[in-house]
């Protein structure tokens, strides 16, 4: 019988690297809506690798402090509410305009992107989060421009995934980075 994870998530017991990995990887988030939470857990696992502790050794103090902060954030997830319907304000389509906006960003620790739909109908505008992705930086250090490029690639892939998995007519596609703002329509192969 497997040991319960509750004492570790509540911070009552110090986890081993194996238990921490089990906790973090047990969270299923196919749309990436919990990406801001989960990226910190993945960074923590990377820190445990760097510290050199073995699989069944308890976390050292620096990692355990990060663990407690992360599990405190994790307990707040149950208050998170995301509507299933994207556009409850503008109503059902067809829309005057439906744009897909992808925002990307990177740091030394990780990179990610988020996809939003922006719908306009009868003068009412509503934006809605569709999907997100995040990744930790590789153990081998990369420059910030290289990380920004990785984020842009992840964003382009996310744009394709969202476009291919929705049947709505998307009138514009935009990929935004904080280093340079680009308006990209990969279906017309041009930058505007």
- 97-191 fold: Ubiquitin-like (UB roll) (3.10.20)
Structure-block tokens of residue 76: 């707040």
- Which stretch of DSSP H or E encloses residue 67? helix 61-75
Structure-block tokens of residue 70: 């992360």
Q: Express as a percent the part of the chain with pLDDT over 90.
A: 60
Residue 97: phi and psi, rounded to 5, are -150, 135
State the Cα–Cα distance between residues 134 and 114, nearest whole angstrom. 9
pLDDT above 60 (res 185): no
Every domain of the chain with CATH number 3.10.20 lies at 97-191
The confidence band for 192, taking pLDDT boundaries of 50, 70 and 90, is very low
Taking alpha carbons only, the member of 57, 52, 51, 47 closest to residue 19 is: 57
State the Cα–Cα distance between residues 88 and 191, nearest whole angstrom. 32
> What Cα–Cα distance (Å) separates residue 117 from each residue in 81, 105, 184?
18, 18, 15
The confidence band for 184, taking pLDDT boundaries of 50, 70 and 90, is low
The confidence band for 83, taking pLDDT boundaries of 50, 70 and 90, is confident
């Amino acid at each position: 019988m497997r040991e319960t994870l509750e004492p570790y998530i509540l911070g009552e017991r110090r986890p081993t690297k194996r238990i921490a990995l089990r906790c973090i990887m047990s969270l299923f988030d196919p749309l990436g809506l919990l990406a801001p939470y989960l990226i910190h857990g993945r960074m923590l696992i990377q820190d445990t690798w760097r510290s050199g502790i073995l699989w069944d050794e308890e976390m050292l103090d620096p990692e355990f402090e990060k663990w407690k902060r992360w599990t405190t954030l994790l307990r707040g997830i149950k208050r998170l509410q995301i509507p299933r319907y994207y556009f409850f304000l503008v109503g059902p389509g067809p829309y005057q305009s439906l744009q897909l906006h992808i925002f990307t960003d990177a740091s030394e620790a990780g990179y990610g992107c988020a996809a939003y739909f922006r719908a306009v109908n009868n003068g009412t505008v509503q934006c809605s989060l569709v999907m997100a992705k995040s990744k930790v930086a590789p153990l081998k250090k990369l420059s910030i421009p290289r990380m920004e490029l990785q984020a842009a690639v992840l964003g382009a892939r996310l744009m394709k995934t969202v476009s291919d998995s929705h049947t709505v007519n998307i009138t514009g596609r935009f990929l935004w980075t904080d280093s340079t703002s680009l308006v990209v329509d990969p279906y017309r192969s041009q930058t505007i």
